[in-house]
């Protein structure tokens, strides 16, 4: 009895082959993936912090311009909370900047370790 194994080949739609032929190295895991996720998370946190800052500042504005103004202690608490949210937004944006700097440095010369590159400023 003779056995025959038919090779399996990918179907062809008659068009050009896809751009990605599998020869290009894509960072599918490791530090590159973590940095990508970190960038997404940081910009989301920064936007949330700025949104909260805006909401609190609007609340302060409303209390200061109300016909019956709020107690100064309440406004002071709102001010402190607003400034804390603004500082958090700044912190997240600065962290995002370091992630973007690292990616930009890596894009310039693939052979260079991004941690060894001096900041541009």
Give the pair of three-digit tokens for residue 120. Answer: 């541009």
What is the pLDDT, as a whole number, of residue 112?
60
Q: CB within 8 A of 38, min separation 6: which ones?
A: 95, 99
What is the CB neighbour count within 10 angstroms for residue 75?
15
- Using a 10 angstrom Cβ sphere, with 0-12 exposed, 13-18 middle and 19 or more buried, the burial of residue 63 is middle
- Sequential DSSP letters for 42-109: HHHHHHHHHHHHHHHHHHHHHHHHSSSPPPHHHHHHHHHHHHHHHHHHHHHHHHHHHHHHHHHHHHH-
Q: Please, what is the average pLDDT of the chain?
A: 80
Among the listed ranges 58-62, 78-82, 100-104, which one has the minimum average pLDDT value?
100-104
* Extents of the domains making up the chain: 31-109
Kindly indicate the confidence band of residue 121, based on its pLDDT and cuts at 50, 70 and 90: very low
Cα 84 to Cα 103: distance, rounded to the nearest angstrom = 29
Q: What is the pLDDT of residues 24-60, one digit of tens each?
A: 445 577 888 888 899 999 999 999 999 999 999 999 9
């Amino acid at each position: 009895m003779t056995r025959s194994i038919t090779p399996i080949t990918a179907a062809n739609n008659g068009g050009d082959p896809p751009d990605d032929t599998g020869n290009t190295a894509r960072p599918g895991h490791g530090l590159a993936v973590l940095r990508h996720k970190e960038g997404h998370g940081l910009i989301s946190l920064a936007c949330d912090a700025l949104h909260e800052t805006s909401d609190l500042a609007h609340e302060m504005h409303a209390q200061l311009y109300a016909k019956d103004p709020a107690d100064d202690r309440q406004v002071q608490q709102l001010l402190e909370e607003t400034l804390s949210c603004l500082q958090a937004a700044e912190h997240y944006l600065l962290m995002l900047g370091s992630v973007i700097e690292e990616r930009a440095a890596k894009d310039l010369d693939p052979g260079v370790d991004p941690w060894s590159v001096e900041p541009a400023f």
